């Protein structure tokens, strides 16, 4: 009983209530989206979504919007295309950034801090500002080599990975700086190569930082519209493009958009909840070093 009393006395009611209010406010759009997607079209047009709570049993609940979105509008193929774009565009920058962060942390070479400062400075360049130069560069590559990165998935992988690298290197390098240097020195004394130290020591210990960036990158690529539309186009549409098409020419397909949007939300939510135990730990490690 004394332990329970001590826990209650240390409980921060103000912070908890504030967090509950913030979570409630942020959850309103998601709840409205979910309820609207399950309501009948006529009832959803006639009354606002919050009236569901006044009489939940007498609602016209239906899966029609989900069935129409999945079966009639190509959302299933768009879902697969989005996975094809997102998974490589998440894995590739993580692997490249892990090698770079390891070098910036443990290897000694001339100009190391200058190179790192230059990489960090690249984070301020928005993707939209660099899009035209990038496209011109890819056109020049096609003219010189005959290999095109526009109109296929490889272009999206390359561009997403390139713009994700500065942030990934920054996060991973800050985390690796918190790892015990004595352990690395001991491995070197025992005859381990840098390659062995990277794969057997540093990478397993850097899982929280890797998972934190994986969440950021996955959410960014999954919800991206601009790059996917430019580099993949309408031939292999992704979820963001297909959901927009569900709205229809006259904007009368908004209930289908609600259902499709909730389907699109499920995968990022699964990824976040699967990796959330690493999220705060990976972001805060090395923040004050």
**For residue 89, what are its two tokens?**
């565009």
Distance CA 6, CA 173 (A): 40
Give the pLDDT confidence score for residue 282 in this predicted structure: 57
* Residues contacting residue 118 through CB under 8 Å, at least 6 positions apart: none
What values do phi and psi take at 61, rounded to 5?
-75, 135
Cross-strand partners of 39: 61
> Cα–Cα distances in Å, from 61 out to 26, 216, 219?
24, 35, 30
Distance CA 94, CA 274 (A): 18
Give the pLDDT confidence score for residue 149 in this predicted structure: 77
Of 46, 24, 25, which Cα lies nearest the Cα of 36? Answer: 46
**For residue 113, what are its two tokens?**
């801090």
Give the pLDDT confidence score for residue 285 in this predicted structure: 55
What is the mean pLDDT, run by run of 10 residues, along the chain of 289 residues? Answer: 55 77 85 79 73 74 76 76 90 92 89 88 82 84 79 85 90 88 86 88 88 87 86 81 73 72 82 74 53
List domains and CATH numbers for the chain.
Answer: 1-62 (no CATH), 63-284 (1.10.3720.10)
């Amino acid at each position: 009983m004394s332990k329970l009393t001590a826990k209650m006395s240390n409980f921060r009611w103000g912070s908890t209530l504030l967090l509950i209010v913030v979570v409630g406010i942020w959850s309103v759009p998601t709840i409205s989206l979910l309820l609207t997607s399950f309501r009948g079209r006529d009832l959803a047009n006639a009354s606002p979504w919050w009236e569901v709570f006044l009489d939940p049993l007498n609602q016209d609940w239906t899966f029609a919007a989900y069935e129409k979105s999945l079966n009639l509008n190509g959302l299933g193929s768009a879902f697969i295309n989005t996975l094809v774009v997102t998974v490589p565009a998440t894995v590739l920058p993580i692997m490249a950034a892990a090698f770079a962060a390891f070098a910036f942390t443990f290897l000694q070479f001339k100009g190391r801090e200058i190179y790192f400062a230059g990489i960090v400075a690249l984070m301020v360049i928005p993707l939209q500002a660099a899009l035209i130069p990038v496209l011109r560069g890819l056109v020049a590559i096609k003219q010189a080599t005959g290999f095109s990165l526009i109109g296929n998935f490889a272009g999206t992988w390359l561009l997403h990975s390139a713009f994700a690298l500065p942030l990934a290197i920054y996060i991973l390098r800050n985390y690796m700086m918190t790892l015990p240097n004595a352990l690395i020195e001991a491995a070197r004394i025992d005859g381990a190569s840098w390659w062995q130290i990277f794969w057997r020591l540093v990478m397993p210990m850097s899982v929280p930082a890797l998972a934190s960036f994986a969440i950021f990158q996955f959410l960014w690529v999954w919800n991206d519209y601009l790059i996917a539309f430019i580099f993949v186009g309408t031939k292999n549409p992704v979820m963001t493009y297909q959901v927009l098409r569900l709205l229809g020419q006259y904007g009368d397909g908004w209930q289908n958009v609600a259902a499709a949007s909730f389907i699109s939300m499920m995968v990022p939510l699964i990824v976040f909840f699967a990796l959330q135990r690493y999220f705060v730990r990976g972001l805060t490690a090395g923040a004050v070093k």
